[in-house]
Amino acid sequence: MQAPAAGAAPPPIEPTQVLHRDGPPHAPPLAYSQVPPEQARRTPHAPTQQPVPQHKGPAHAPTQRPLRFDDGPPHAPWQQPRPYREGPPPAPPRGTRPAQAPRPRRKRHPFRWLLVILLVLVLAAVGAVIQLDNSLNRIPALANYAQRVGDTPGTNWLLVGSDGRAGLTPQQEQELATGGEVGPERTDTIMLVHVPESGKTTLVSLPRDSYVSVPGHGKDKLNAAFAIGGPALLVQTVEIATGLRIDHYAQIGFGGFASVVDTLGGIDVCLPKPIDDPLAGIDLPAGCQRLNGPQALGFVRSRATPLADLDRMNNQRIFLAALLAKATSGTTLANPFKLWPLASDTVKSLKVDNGDHIWDLGGLAWALKSDTVATAVPIGGFDDTDSGNVLLWDKGKASRFFNALAGDQPIPEELLTR
């Protein structure tokens, strides 16, 4: 291409074609005089207006600040977006409830209900214990007296079975073969229980016809102390005769004895020989069998055997072991419909000292349930006295026997009577 000559007019510049954003390239703008009148009235524009070039890149200019939207769903294409706001979001219109985030779902704790149930059971058990303790019939059995035996190690109980008929109807007296009213209340069963601080519990039978010194009344049978002065004089007589201080006292009568057995559904015993005793109201064959309340009462009272009182003491120990085994068995303790009547009947049938409580009785039952040494005081023979035929203790052996218990030591094997 040659350069124009000097002084010559420059060649006309052809208009540059500009691409329209939404269509094909258009012709250069016409002069106003060249635009048809109809088109000028319909789409007027200045001759110098240029079409907007097409952009490749972001929709806004580099200096343009993009619009920001409030949180929420995207707006429809035809809606005007909300402009960016500085500061907190605007308050909702009056009368509308602001949207709340869903609350986290609470976790269920199954152990919480288990703890509630256990708490209810504990409270019920505590309430039952308090009620039973308040139902105990308390008497002043452990009265203090001059020169009383000092405290000895271990825990000593005196258990008494009396022939008390209080509360029995004539029909019940006939069923239990009590023999009717025979004067002052007497005792057929006297047992001493020694619970050591460690070791086996010892259960000692004290024959009711034992010839001992009764304070204030000279020499007499042991059960005479009960008939003369009641539980307090009996406890004093036993303490002086044995050298052991009695810590607790429990007494049960005819009616309560039979009721406790019937509540348990009977007691299972095994008899080496048959026992037929019309005075006790029993006729029991040899062998293992279940005794109801009246039969069990006759069994522990009967002396219609070759060794009389000695056999009776042995039968009493057999019965007590069977009674405690059934009363403390898992089937009884796990059944509230059996346990509660048993506890209620036992508590109503007992007489205890003023200082005794239901938990003391529970400790006694637990001690006797374990391995127990059952024996009787060493016997020296029999004799006829002003009190009738009496049983004499072997003084030498009996002294060693009770000295061992007073020292909380096991009784020597040669002194035990099986």
Q: pLDDT, tens digit, for every residue of 352-373?
A: 999 999 999 989 988 988 788 9
pLDDT band at 138 (very low <50, low <70, confident <90, very high): very high
Pick the closest to residue 263 from 188, 173, 349, 177 (CA basis).
349
**Residue at token pair 């000292």:** 353
Is 264 a member of any domain?
yes
The whole-number pLDDT of residue 165 equals 55
Is 36 a member of any domain? no
What's the pLDDT band for 69 if we cut at 50, 70, 90?
very low
Query: Is there a domain that residue 59 lies in?
Result: no
Q: Are 215 and 237 in contact (CB under 8 A)?
A: yes
pLDDT of 294 strictly over 50: yes
Window from 51-65, 178-192, 253-267 with minimum mean pLDDT: 51-65
Owning domain of residue 370 = 131-415
What average pLDDT score do residues 152-161 get? 94
pLDDT, greater one: 28 or 299: 299
pLDDT on residue 39: 52
- H runs (alpha helix) in 108-197: 110-135, 170-175
Answer whether 232's CB lies under 8 Å from 240's CB. no
Between 6-10, 235-239, 359-363, the lowest mean confidence (pLDDT) is in 6-10
* 3-state secondary structure (DSSP) of residue 298: helix
Is it the case that residue 298 has pLDDT exceeding 50? yes
Please check whether residue 73 lies inside any domain of the structure: no
Q: What is the mean pLDDT of residues 240-269?
A: 90
Average pLDDT, the chain: 79
Q: For residue 222, give the H/E element and its range.
A: helix 222-242
Q: List the single range of 27-36, 272-281, 318-327, 330-339 with lowest mean pLDDT.
A: 27-36
Q: State yes or no: pLDDT of 118 exceeds 90.
A: no
Lowest mean per-residue pLDDT among 31-45, 112-126, 130-144, 271-285: 31-45
Structurally, the chain folds into a number of domains equal to 1
Residue 51 lies in a domain: no
How would you class 182 by CB atoms within 10 Å of its CB: exposed for 0-12, middle for 13-18, buried for 19 or more?
exposed
Q: What is the mean pLDDT of residues 79-92?
A: 60
| Section 200-208 average pLDDT | 93
| Structure-model confidence comparison of residues 321 and 225, the more confident one | 225
Q: What is the pLDDT of residue 104?
A: 67
Residue that wins the pLDDT comparison between 308 and 225: 225
Give the angle subtended at the CA of 189 by the CAs of 188 and 192, to the nearest 5°: 150
What are residue 139's DSSP bridge partners? 353
The confidence score (pLDDT) of residue 157 equals: 97
- Residue 392 located in a structural domain: yes
Q: Which residue has the higher pLDDT, 255 or 374?
A: 374
Residue 63 confidence (pLDDT): 55
CA-based nearest residue to 249, from 239, 259, 240, 264 = 239
- pLDDT-derived band of residue 42, with 50, 70 and 90 as boundaries? low
Q: How far is CA 141 from CA 56, 244, 255, in A?
A: 114, 15, 21
Residue 393 resides in a domain: yes
In a domain, 346, yes or no: yes
Checking if the pLDDT of 152 tops 70, the result is yes
> Dihedral sign, CA of 161, 167, 172, 177?
positive
CATH code, 278: 3.40.630.190
Say if residues 269 and 291 touch (Cβ distance below 8 Å). Answer: yes
| Higher-confidence position of 69 and 228 | 228
User: What percent of the chain clears pLDDT 70, i.e. is strictly above it?
Assistant: 69
Residue 51 predicted with pLDDT over 70: no
Q: In degrees to the nearest 10, what's the CA dihedral of 217, 219, 220, 226?
A: 50
Considering 118-122, 209-213, 276-280, 308-312, the range whose residues carry the highest mean pLDDT is 209-213
Residue 19 has pLDDT above 60, yes or no: no
Average pLDDT score over residue span 396-407: 95
The pLDDT of residue 25 is above 80: no
What's residue 154's pLDDT?
A: 94
Q: Would you say the C-alpha torsion 203, 208, 209, 211 has a positive or negative sign?
A: positive
Q: Fill in the amino acid letter for 95.
A: G
- The whole-number pLDDT of residue 56 equals 53
Say what the pLDDT of residue 65 is: 55
Residues 375 and 313: their CA atoms lie apart, in Å, by 9
